[in-house]
């Protein structure tokens, strides 16, 4: 009996151990199989669908509108971006500190038939001899001129020379040379559209005002603010704020060098800045001011024509075969153009504004080999020349292209 009981326990123990080994082996095999199936790890676990809440049954989830703009999370400004902004501020700070002592406020009294007049503008010192550059229209007709420096010093000034057609003037003060801080003249030819520029002046009498902007365009030709029928050529257009009182003040680059003289604004609202201001380029200053100091006046070259600018649609409307260029509508007697034989037309047509003009005259398509597509092209190039220079005009006459040499004379005081 004892032997049978021992045999029973031995057999039971053996079977238990065997069953345990089989379980361990099966578990190991299962683990190896799962590891051999990588897709299982990426499959989402199966879950029972959630029972919708009462609110979700009443209002299904709102789909985002395709027209709605994506939400943009607010991003804090990074340290390097802040440093760029601070660097620009430091540049403007330095330029203002350096140039402002050279900028003066100009007050003028002008005779008037009724009550008398008063005007104001800006200017800047160019040397220790007391010469100050400003606009002609600031001092034109002035009976007295008072210059006020940054430190409050006021002294009278006299006009040395003035030129209506460039809208530039030179005045001179007799003051301690230590108070005179001449500006540095830059290079307006190297300016690019988009370059930062700074205007300094006295808008509405607020002395030492500084505004920042960019060069919006170059080579603009805009009608002079005076009574003369000529355009100011090669102007720099800027969105730096320019207002009445800024006239004659400097437009400077980011190194504090003068690149232009602020002269006028274009605005639909009288006497209000609209982001379209113009400055006379410093290259014109370099050419005109020394002559004004030496001779008191400046002679501009004169070709001796008036004309209208052609465009493809306008040329088609007038029945002209040339798409672009300047159509000569008048040749002034005794001018270089007259002596060279340029012709105005005789067949008249009525323009959209009701004006009647001759439309079969010569058409200027190039000057000294440079294409003339707009009137600005012609005016801006002539501004770089001198009285007595000879130019070659390429013209179209009666359908034929030819070259004509024209010697430039001085611009007359009055157009015949």
Cβ(314)–Cβ(349) below 8 Å: no
Whether 167 is catalytic is yes
Residue 7: partners with Cβ closer than 8 Å, 6 or more residues away: none
Residue 29 Cα distances to 22, 42, 122, 222, 362, angstroms? 11, 21, 95, 92, 101
Residue whose token pair is 């005789």: 346
Of 412, 378, 381, 416, residue with least CA distance to 395: 378
Token output for 202: 């006295």
Of 252, 275, 272, 274, residue with least CA distance to 262: 252
* Marked catalytic residue, from 166, 247, 362, 383: 247
Adjacent-strand bridge partners of 184: 257
Of 92, 124, 126, 97, residue with least CA distance to 254: 92
d(CA 194, CA 237): 11
Q: How far is CA 156 from the centre of its chain?
A: 36
Asked whether the CA dihedral 35, 37, 43, 46 is positive or negative, the reply is negative
Phi/psi at 55 (5° precision):
-65, -40
Whether 137 is catalytic is yes
d(CA 267, CA 83): 35
* Marked catalytic residue, from 137, 165, 216, 231: 137
Q: How many residues can be counted in the chain?
A: 416
Adjacent-strand bridge partners of 301: 410
Of 287, 278, 240, residue with least CA distance to 260: 278
Q: Which helix (H) or strand (E) holds 55?
A: helix 54-58
* Marked catalytic residue, from 163, 167, 362, 377: 167
Q: Which helix (H) or strand (E) holds 96?
A: helix 79-99
d(CA 260, CA 250): 6
Q: Which residues form the catalytic set?
A: 137, 167, 247
């Amino acid at each position: 009996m004892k032997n049978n009981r021992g045999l029973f326990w031995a057999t039971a123990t053996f079977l238990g151990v065997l069953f345990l080994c089989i379980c361990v082996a099966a578990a190991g095999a299962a683990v190896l199989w799962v590891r051999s199936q990588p897709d299982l790890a990426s499959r989402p676990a199966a879950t029972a669908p959630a029972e919708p809440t009462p609110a979700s049954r009443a209002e299904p989830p709102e789909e985002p509108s395709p027209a709605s703009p994506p939400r943009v999370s607010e991003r804090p400004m990074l340290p390097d971006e802040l440093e760029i902004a601070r660097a620009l501020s430091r540049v403007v700070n330095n330029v203002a500190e350096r140039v402002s002592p050279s900028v003066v406020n100009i007050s003028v009294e002008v005779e008037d038939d009724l009550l008398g007049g008063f005007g104001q503008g800006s200017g800047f010192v160019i040397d220790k001899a007391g010469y100050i550059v400003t606009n002609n229209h600031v001092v034109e007709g002035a009976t007295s001129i008072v210059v006020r420096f940054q430190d409050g010093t006021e002294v009278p000034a006299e006009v040395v020379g003035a030129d209506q057609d460039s809208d530039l003037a030179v005045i001179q003060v007799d003051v301690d040379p230590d108070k005179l801080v001449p500006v540095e003249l830059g290079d307006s030819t190297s300016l690019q559209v988009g370059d930062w520029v700074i205007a300094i002046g006295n808008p509405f009498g607020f002395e030492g005002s500084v505004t920042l902007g960019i060069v919006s365009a170059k080579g603009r030709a805009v009608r002079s603010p005076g009574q003369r029928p000529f355009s100011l050529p090669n102007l720099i257009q800027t969105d730096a704020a320019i207002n009445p009182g800024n006239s004659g003040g400097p437009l400077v680059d980011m190194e504090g060098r003068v690149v232009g003289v602020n002269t006028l604004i274009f605005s639909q609202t009288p006497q209000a800045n609209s982001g379209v201001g113009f400055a006379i380029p410093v290259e014109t200053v370099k050419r005109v001011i020394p002559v004004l100091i030496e001779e008191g006046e400046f002679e501009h070259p004169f070709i001796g024509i008036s004309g209208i600018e052609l465009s493809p649609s306008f040329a088609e409307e007038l029945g002209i075969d040339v798409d672009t260029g300047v159509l000569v509508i008048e040749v002034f007697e005794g001018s270089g153009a007259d002596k060279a034989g340029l012709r105005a037309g005789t067949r008249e047509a009525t323009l959209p504004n009701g004006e009647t003009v001759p439309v079969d005259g010569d058409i200027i398509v190039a000057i000294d080999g440079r294409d003339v597509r707009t009137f600005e092209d012609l005016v801006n190039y002539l501004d770089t020349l001198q009285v007595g220079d000879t130019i070659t005009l390429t013209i179209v006459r009666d359908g034929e292209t030819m070259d004509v040499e024209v010697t430039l004379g001085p611009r007359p005081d009055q157009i015949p």
